[in-house]
Amino acid sequence: MIFAVCPLKVALALGQAKRTIYTFSGRRLVCPNFVTSVTKSQFSFEAKLPIATSRGIKKNKDPAVNKTLQRFLALLLHMSEVVWGEAPSLQRPLLVVAFQGLFDAGECATGAIDWIINHHKARRIAHIDPEEFYDFQEVRPEVYINEEGDRLVRWPSLDVHVIENNLSHDLVLLQGIEPRMRWRTFCESVVEIATDTNCEMVVTLGAMAAGVPHSRPSEVKGSAANPELARRLGLDRPSYQGPTGIIGTLHDSLDRASLPVVSLRVGIPHYVAGPPNPKGTRALLQEFEHVTGVLTGYNDLDVSSLEWEERVADAVSQDPEIMDYVRQLEEEVERASETDLPSGDDLAAEFQKFLREQRDE
């Protein structure tokens, strides 16, 4: 009897050893019940498995092995798009997500994750296979030559980094170009990353062009669909109805998976929405630290934020019409009613209390 495995290419390391290794072209199978050791792209079984042939896998005479093999082959239908390099052991991690695209004006959101990665000891542990989620005629790979003189292709990436620290939460960071297709499958992959790393909460970062002046502090708005979380952190409940993007789709998938999720988004001046915008990035990092209590080092962006603001002010001063428009925006900000906001310590305390209660349930 032959168990067909085509069209998948299954590499079998067969021999006299007790443990046989199966490798699936870097893809990952979800095998919670009978895999004895997992190195993400490799799966080990405590059994002497059947012989591989060019046509498939021959049935073994041992009934126990056959039962394992049948279950194993059934799992071929549940392959993941997440390619893991390691399985980290993290302390109460938070997943932070940002995508380059429509919801990343001035590259403030992806810039915030880049800032965290570059200023902490971050390491790459996984990536989402881009093959299923991009039109490569629209988002093209790039050819480059490495230090050894080899000509290589760099594909669009969706990388997962981790930061382990001595604070209350480790961080799992996902960023890349927003996917162009198969959004539901993509969101399932993000949910997988959150669950497999045991993240307690997901925070999405975004930036939008808005009618705000460059000369005033960048305002960050937060929202959460969970009513208790929104109440405790003083966040808005989502009220928008209409066409949505990948962030809205992802929030729906996370809600269905019962994973708490918070959205933080900064508004930047629409008349200077091009990247980089260190002032918007700083505002996102500050609010993230304000809400979660995880230190980001946002103060180190003070100088570059001030220089950016001065450059914009110089450009605006050359056009009287734009100067008048900016003054109107400044007056609108000043007329806006001020609200008493909770302190960072109060927000962080409520954040931790909410997560403790989630773990106890």
pLDDT over threshold 50, residue 43: no
Name, of 25-29, 45-49, 244-248, the range with top average pLDDT.
244-248
Distance (Å, whole) CA 10 – CA 29: 12
Residue matched to tokens 């109440």: 231
Confidence of residue 233 (pLDDT cuts 50, 70, 90): confident
- pLDDT (0 to 100) of residue 49: 42
Write out pLDDT tens, residues 93-102: 999 999 999 8
Q: Which CATH number fits domain 88-360: 2.70.170.10, 3.40.50.300, 3.40.50.10900, 3.30.565.10?
A: 3.40.50.10900
Q: What is the mean pLDDT of the chain?
A: 79
- pLDDT (0 to 100) of residue 107: 95
Write out pLDDT tens, residues 171-205: 999 999 999 999 999 999 999 999 999 999 999 99
Distance (Å, whole) CA 178 – CA 248: 12
Domain extent listing, the chain: 2-80, 88-360
Q: What are 92's two structure tokens?
A: 């109460």
- For 28-59, give the DSSP string: EE--TTT-SEE-SSEEEEES-PPPEETTEEEP
Nearest to 81 by CA among 40, 130, 114, 46: 130
pLDDT over threshold 50, residue 340: no
Q: What are 122's two structure tokens?
A: 């971050």
| In contact, 255 and 261? CB cutoff 8 Å | yes
